[in-house]
């Protein structure tokens, strides 16, 4: 559906876009204490404050820092958690990684990053408490006395140079163990227990390939909204071709300026069995038409959704990535929305949702990741948090997974010259009840491709 945001774009939600790194003279430092002082513990409890010790304001989404430790065994997996934080646990993310050069006291690290919602630090200000913890996935006692960044005597906050910090891409604080250099992207080692998974590399021959239906997809052909009245949904315009070493799905939407000449495209899962967990897709958005004049009010999408059973029904759910290359819905030019829906009513229009927006071009390939747990909905674009939405918008029941491309109206380019637009999709992934980082998504997709697995669906119905 991915349509209801049209009438709520004027809510004025601030865009969470990446900010430039602070000036070279600016810096941060990390203060540390521990709440678990023993040589062994049920869980490690490193608590932190990040302090702006520079002369300019520092955006926290440009800051990351690492705590280094020695795994109890090469196969041991760990889980991160945030007990409490002044900046809000929803604005703090922890990711585990491995060191390129293991030492006697470190072969892993916990990297902490911030979302745009964490805000900025003025010179001399600090984040306040970040009461973090991590534990073994099997909940066995862990040893921390041999961990590089651990010091059981530190029960009050103080500067700690055995934690490293970056501002932008430059290391500004601390010393890594041995000869290790903190790199900007953590290497995931702990994607958690294998969740039931849907993965599709879209290696089909055409929209009429029997494997599409056998794999649980439906290529839409029935009439109706969203979009231009009188338009049709054209299965034949969903095609597949080799590109960049993979088979890529293409959705072509075309028009000659009338409803009858307008052809939209959509593919969706037949089952509404997807709920909490991770959703991911690699999608190519287009600013320019495939042919013909530019300017149409186009929507290019990736989203899970279920059906609205009645106006304002409280069990409705929808989570959208929507790119408008030429604007629309009152916007004059390109804009990307992510929107989380609680419910809506069509007539008279009432909408209950939360959205994030960014007014810039997103033409080209992008990695889109959406995670839903019991606390929040988080949207990522190309590995960076784009928006985090509140628990009130969490889903109450299962959804289908959808891609579609359609025209809002014919006002953006009112001419009758034929034109068409493409939206491409490389793969789709859903992991049930498991929150993956974008790096873990990439690793999981890479594993399927290395193994030659083009399709798998172990997500149970119901």
- pLDDT band (50, 70, 90) for residue 15: very low
94-98, 162-166, 337-341, 385-389: the lowest-pLDDT one: 94-98
How do residues 52-105 score in pLDDT, each as one tens digit?
Answer: 998 889 999 889 999 999 999 988 889 889 999 999 988 898 888 888 889 999
Which CA distances in Å does 437 have to 181, 286, 399? 22, 26, 21
How do residues 375-394 score in pLDDT, each as one tens digit?
Answer: 899 999 999 999 999 999 99
Task: Give residue 26's pLDDT.
Answer: 63
Taking the whole predicted model, whether its pTM rises above 0.75 is answered as: no
Report the C-alpha gap between 243 and 368 in whole angstroms. Answer: 19
- pLDDT band (50, 70, 90) for residue 13: very low
- Determine contact, residues 419/407, Cβ cutoff 8 Å: no
Which CA distances in Å does 69 have to 99, 151, 247? 10, 11, 41
- Residue 310 pLDDT exceeds 50: yes
- pLDDT band (50, 70, 90) for residue 5: very low
Report the C-alpha gap between 396 and 371 in whole angstroms. Answer: 15
- Determine contact, residues 345/323, Cβ cutoff 8 Å: no
Question: Across 58-176, where does the E strand assignment appear?
Answer: 58-59, 63-69, 78-85, 92-98, 108-114, 120-121, 130-136, 142-143, 158-159, 163-167, 170-173
Cβ count near 35 (within 10 Å) = 15
Task: Give residue 6's pLDDT.
Answer: 35
Pairing status of strand 92-98 against strand 108-114: antiparallel
Angle at 407 between CA 430 and CA 335, to 5 degrees: 70
Q: Which of 370 and 24 is assigned the larger pLDDT?
A: 370
Task: Give residue 17's pLDDT.
Answer: 27
- Residue 110 pLDDT exceeds 70: yes
Q: Which of 241, 266, 262 is nearest to 251 (CA)?
A: 266
Report the C-alpha gap between 7 and 222 in whole angstroms. Answer: 24
Which CA distances in Å does 212 have to 244, 245, 265, 423, 458? 22, 21, 15, 18, 16
Task: Give residue 193's pLDDT.
Answer: 45
């Amino acid at each position: 559906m991915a349509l209801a945001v049209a009438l709520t774009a004027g809510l004025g939600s601030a865009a969470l876009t990446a900010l430039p790194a602070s000036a070279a003279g600016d810096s941060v430092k990390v203060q540390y204490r521990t709440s678990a002082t023993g040589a062994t513990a049920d869980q490690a409890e490193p608590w932190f404050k990040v302090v702006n010790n520079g002369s300019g304001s520092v955006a926290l989404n440009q800051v990351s820092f690492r705590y280094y430790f020695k795994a109890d065994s090469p196969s041991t997996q760990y889980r991160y958690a945030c007990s409490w934080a002044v900046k809000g646990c929803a604005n703090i993310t922890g990711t585990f990684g491995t060191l390129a050069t293991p030492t006697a006291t470190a072969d892993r690290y916990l990297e902490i990053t911030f979302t745009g919602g964490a805000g900025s630090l003025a010179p001399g200000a600090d984040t306040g408490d970040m009461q973090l913890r991590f534990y073994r996935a099997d909940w066995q006692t862990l040893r921390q006395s041999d961990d590089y960044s651990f010091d059981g005597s530190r029960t009050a906050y103080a500067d700690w140079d055995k934690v490293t910090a970056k501002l932008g891409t430059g290391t500004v604080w601390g010393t890594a163990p041995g000869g290790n250099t903190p790199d900007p992207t953590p290497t995931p080692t702990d994607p958690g227990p294998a969740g039931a998974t849907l993965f599709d590399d879209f290696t089909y021959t055409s929209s009429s390939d029997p494997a599409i239906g056998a794999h649980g997809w439906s290529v839409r052909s029935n009439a109706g909204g969203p979009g231009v009245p009188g338009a049709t949904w054209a299965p034949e315009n969903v095609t597949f071709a080799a590109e960049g070493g993979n088979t890529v799905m293409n959705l072509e939407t075309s028009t000659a300026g009338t409803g009858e000449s307008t052809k939209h495209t959509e593919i969706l899962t037949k089952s509404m069995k997807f709920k909490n967990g991770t959703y991911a897709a690699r999608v190519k958005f287009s600013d320019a038409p495939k042919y013909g004049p530019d300017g149409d009010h186009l929507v290019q999408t990736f989203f899970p959704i279920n059906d609205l059973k009645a106006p304002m029904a409280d069990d409705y759910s929808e989570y959208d990535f929507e790119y408008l290359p030429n604007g629309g819905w009152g916007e004059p030019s390109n804009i990307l929305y992510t929107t989380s829906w609680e419910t809506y009513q069509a007539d008279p229009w009432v909408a209950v949702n939360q959205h994030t927006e960014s007014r810039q071009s997103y033409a080209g390939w992008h990695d889109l990741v959406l995670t839903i747990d019991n606390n929040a909905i988080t949207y990522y674009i190309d590995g960076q948090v784009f928006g985090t939405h509140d628990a009130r918008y969490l889903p109450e029941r299962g959804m289908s997974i959808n891609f579609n491309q359609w025209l809002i109206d014919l006002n953006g380019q009112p001419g009758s010259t034929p034109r068409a637009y493409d939206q491409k999709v490389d793969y789709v992934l859903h992991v049930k009840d498991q929150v993956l980082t974008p790096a873990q998504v990439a690793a999981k997709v890479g594993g399927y491709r290395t193994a030659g697995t083009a399709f798998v669906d172990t997500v149970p119905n119901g």
